[in-house]
Structure 1
Amino acid sequence: MRLKINNLKFTINLKQVFILAISLLTINSVKAQEVIQDEVKEEAEKKADSIDFTGARKVDGVAAVVGDYIVLDSDIDKAFLQLQAQGVNTKDIERCQLFGKLLEDKLYAHHAIQDSIPVADAEIRQSVDYQIQQFLQQTGGDMKKLLEFYKKEDEQSFRDEMFEINKGNMLAQRMQAKIVEEVEVTPEEVRVFFNKIPENERPTFGTELKVAQIVIEPKVSQEEKQKVIDRLKQFKKEVDNGASFRSKVILYGEDPGLKQSGYIYTLNKKQPRMVKEFRQVAFSLQEGEVSEPFETDFGFHIIHLQKIRGQEYDVSHILLRAKVSTAAVREAQEKLEKIRKRIVDGEISFADAAREASDEKETRNDGGQLINPETQDYNFELTRMDPELYAQIQDLKDGEVSLVLADQDRNQKRKFKILTVTDRIDEHEADYARDFLKIKEQALNEKKVIAIEKWQKEKILDTYIKVTGEYRDCEFASNWLKK
């Protein structure tokens, strides 16, 4: 059973690393990702049969054909380089092992198309835009250097190549998700899974603790809010009179993610994205219309609806945040200092103080208790804790209250907080009752792996697959050679 658990973890982690690395960096050979037509497939088969593996490896030799996709020799070499560029130690990864992963990806992508799994072009373009922005950061924003590095003649050919690669990766990921989307485990299955593990082989879980916090946010005055609203109204008036909305976004907008997406967000009525208020306004507009100013948790916005394509809406927006005064910042900090003193002096418990005064809606009713985003419970394992949170609580003793800390939330709003640590559990061997959620996760992961293995076994037999040359000597975990 221990072997099974270890294999399970290795499979999942390796796949996650491969998907990340290949989706971000595989951009040198679009041939490896292109869907090929029947006549091209026949030509690929002939080429595969004619490859001579006795001498030096041909860079563009066909290593395999999987359905409507091909895998080149050079794809495997590049995959190794890409993993190394991501800081992955490839010493223990065999060539056959990586080749098998590429075969899996092609199998997923091929059947995603057969099953009509949707991947919107707009979504792919957004992913490409984001990746190019990330690449440009490495070249100091110089597109020419970027094109030279990847040996591309122009930006459009570069984008086209990345589009095909991202499409293939998204298809593969969606297919995998579909395979396991209905996989669940019952409490009885979790119990059986746990009992199968010999007592001397049961996993050990690291030190865990619960963390609570009280948050106070400096308040923005109504006067400052009105200044922002008036400014956005002026922008709308100027755009309605012929000014460029895009220019104003570039000059004044405060949404950092918008630049990464090419100054366009694509919203789909069937796929929730953005906060509720933003979506409601966007879907109420006519093509070419600019909205009135409105507020979300991120700040104040006006939206420009650029194009409607069926269920998809291409929008841009200007986000402005109202400024917090120095006096408001000082008032918030002093308020939290007083709350902390009441807790330390024993006048009120930390949990009651959180319910009474915290400005954080997500934790206030739970007495300030933070929820672990990975496990959806209150427990945080020290070795897997977010580094920023760890730095804030690492020196706290149980029940001790931190000093007032300055921080920013995900919307870039300034805030102050105090934290405390409760219910510390030292490193321990897995206990069914105490660690049920973790054990359930392991049982679910094992069941998902079994489902994927079953799917692969069936689809390999149903799909045209040809592995050529020296790769036929690989010892695959899956039956790629159909023996």
Structure 2
Amino acid sequence: MNSINNKSAFLFFLLLFSSTLISAQEIIKDSVVPSVKKIQTGQRQKIDGVIATVGDYIVLDSDIDKSFLEISSQGGSVKDITRCQMLGKLLEDKLYAHQAIQDSIKVTDSEIKGMMEERLTYILDKVGSMDKVLSMYKKSSEEELRTSFFDILKEQKLASEMTNKIVDGVEITPEEVRNFFKKIPKNELPLFGAEMEVAQIVVTPKVSDAEKQKVIDKLNSFKKEVEEGASFATKAVLYSKDPGSSSNGGYYKMNRKTPFVKEFKDVAFSLQQGEISAPFETTFGFHIIYVEKVKGQEIELRHILLTPSVSEDEIKAAKEKITLIREKIIDKKLTFADAARTESDQKETRANGGALINPNTRDTRFELTKMDPSLYSQVSNLKDDEVSQPILDTDENGRKYYKIITVTNRINEHTADYATDYIKIKELALKEKQIKAIGKWFDTTIKDTYVKILGEYRDCDFTNNWLKK
């Protein structure tokens, strides 16, 4: 948006890449660029291509090339990004990570290992083989690649945590939103794409008490084995059905504000450090929790999630039930919203008539060009007030369920309107305020941090005052 100045807009653009760029790093202990570095074998070797230092971190010229490579490998375009701009982004990451350490922000090895597994899986899916990945990153072995990735991802995680700390307390008032909108010239108002609002009714196949007991018994056996010396993390990797944590040994770090379901948080915060819970049920299935550390209001835990299996007869019964619900709606015996409130098994949507919430914007609108492809395919051909046929779907934990969907509202492509698009405008205003907060943080922190830019890169026109002019 043109109303946001170029400096802020570019800074925000760079922020969008903070979780995807990979850059090689070395940590140094002195406040000057060294000519040698220690390596694990105890040998010493010459460093070539050091172009910048930020606090305890250095940047190599090759880091810029690797950052371009990373963007390209993920399908991004680098044609409009200069080497100076990329260096500016790398300097930002180093400053974030350096200050995170100064502020005693900690990340655990288990977190980083989980991130590393996810990254390697993603790259392998894209590239096809480990040999190609090693060639792309110029590594001689998978062990060398993993060691490099660990350091890189740890720096990225520190940078992410530092960014979150900076913007965490930034809030926006309705008056600030109004003033933000008023400042935008009419001919520069953003154009919002076509959107729709969608509602659904879900019927989940019932699980027999016998199947539930099988899962409870299995979790109790895991608990006993861990209490006798087995690794909880290994059990989670092998057996947990939680896609968000299983590869990471079931690890989560949370406080009371972390958005977990109430039942999970209630159990987690009732445990002492080192304690394992009894099996308990949430909407996701059955869990056991092991609390690793308690740090004030924050806990580090691992959990194992198991989901009971359902029989074909139970799946068939769910289809029959949702078919009857659909017939009542078609016959005008029930409105879709009333049916959702009384018949749907989905707690998240039941209270508001089945209306889906966009996970990216937290409102009820879905922009068609950004809608999840599977959802778009289910609703794109529905006419106004039409109710879909029963759809067999699978949730993130692999559990089957039936649903029916309807489109409750369509919004054509339009120029931003304050009343109609308040939530989107509020988000834009908040982002601008966060950008300003980050810019102010950079101005202050750069002044108090050792920064050195070498060679031709001193001629770069940086967004931030890295040269302290």
Q: Are positions 1:468 and 2:454 aligned together?
A: yes
1:140-170 residue CA offsets vs partner (Å, 9 max, x unmatched): 786x886676555666554443332222112
Q: Are positions 1:74 and 2:62 aligned together?
A: yes
Cα distance, 1:264–1:365 mapped onto 2, change above 3 Å: closer
1:237-261 residue CA offsets vs partner (Å, 9 max, x unmatched): 6777888878876766545555522
- Decide whether the 8 Å contact of 2:236 with 2:246 is kept in 1: no
Compute the displacement of 1:314 (Å).
Answer: 6.1
Find the aligned partners of 1:232 and 1:421 in 2 and give their Cα distance. Answer: 41
Look up the match of 1:2.
2
- DSSP-derived class of the 2:405 partner: strand
- DSSP-derived class of the 1:43 partner: coil
Instruction: Name which of structure 1's ranges 249-258 and 470-479 shifts more when overlaid on structure 2.
Output: 249-258
Q: Give unpaired runs (5+ residues) of structure 1.
A: 46-57
Find the aligned partners of 1:283 and 1:245 in 2 and give their Cα distance. Answer: 19
Q: Are positions 1:60 and 2:60 aligned together?
A: no
| Matching residue's letter, 2:82 | E
Instruction: Name which of structure 1's ranges 353-362 and 320-329 shifts more when overlaid on structure 2.
Output: 320-329
Q: Are positions 1:43 and 2:43 aligned together?
A: no
Look up the match of 1:21.
20
Aligned pair count reads 456
Compute the displacement of 1:411 (Å).
Answer: 2.7
Find the aligned partners of 2:35 and 2:360 in 1 and give their Cα distance. Answer: 44
Cα distance, 1:73–1:335 mapped onto 2, change above 3 Å: same
Q: 1:264-303, aligned counterparts within 5 Å?
A: 265=251, 277=263, 280=267, 284=271, 287=274, 292-302=278-288
Q: 1:354-393, aligned counterparts within 5 Å?
A: 354-393=340-379
Compute the displacement of 1:416 (Å).
Answer: 0.8
Find the aligned partners of 2:231 and 2:357 in 1 and give their Cα distance. Answer: 44
* Structure ranking higher in helix proportion: 1
Look up the match of 2:178.
191
Find the aligned partners of 2:293 and 2:116 in 1 and give their Cα distance. Answer: 20
Find the aligned partners of 2:302 and 2:202 in 1 and give their Cα distance. Answer: 34
Return the TM-score normalized by structure 1. 0.82
Look up the match of 2:435.
449
Look up the match of 2:416.
430
Compute the displacement of 1:80 (Å).
Answer: 1.0
Instruction: Name which of structure 1's ranges 70-79 and 148-157 shifts more when overlaid on structure 2.
Output: 148-157
- DSSP-derived class of the 2:27 partner: coil
Find the aligned partners of 2:383 and 2:238 in 1 and give their Cα distance. Answer: 48
1:298-332 residue CA offsets vs partner (Å, 9 max, x unmatched): 333456x5x94564666464x44322122211111
Q: 1:227-238, aligned counterparts within 5 Å?
A: 227-233=214-220
1:111-160 residue CA offsets vs partner (Å, 9 max, x unmatched): 22222223334423332344345456568786x88667655566655444
Look up the match of 1:350.
336
Q: 1:401-412, aligned counterparts within 5 Å?
A: 401-412=387-398
* Matched-pair identity in %: 52
How much is the aligned-residue C-alpha RMSD, in angstroms? 3.4
- Choose from 89, 105, 117 the match for 2:105: 117
Select the structure of larger CA radius of gyration. Answer: 1
Cα distance, 1:437–1:416 mapped onto 2, change above 3 Å: same
Look up the match of 2:153.
166
- Decide whether the 8 Å contact of 1:185 with 1:444 is kept in 2: yes
| Matching residue's letter, 1:88 | G
Look up the match of 1:458.
444
Find the aligned partners of 2:235 and 2:100 in 1 and give their Cα distance. Answer: 41
- Choose from 178, 183, 192 the match for 1:205: 192
Look up the match of 1:12.
12
Compute the displacement of 1:226 (Å).
Answer: 2.7
Return the TM-score normalized by structure 2. 0.85
Cα distance, 1:269–1:8 mapped onto 2, change above 3 Å: closer
- Decide whether the 8 Å contact of 1:297 with 1:411 is kept in 2: no
Look up the match of 2:43.
none
Find the aligned partners of 2:98 and 2:235 in 1 and give their Cα distance. Answer: 43
Cα distance, 1:422–1:223 mapped onto 2, change above 3 Å: same
Find the aligned partners of 1:174 and 1:244 in 2 and give their Cα distance. Answer: 28
Look up the match of 1:327.
313
Find the aligned partners of 1:164 and 1:373 in 2 and give their Cα distance. Answer: 31
Find the aligned partners of 1:196 and 1:244 in 2 and give their Cα distance. Answer: 58
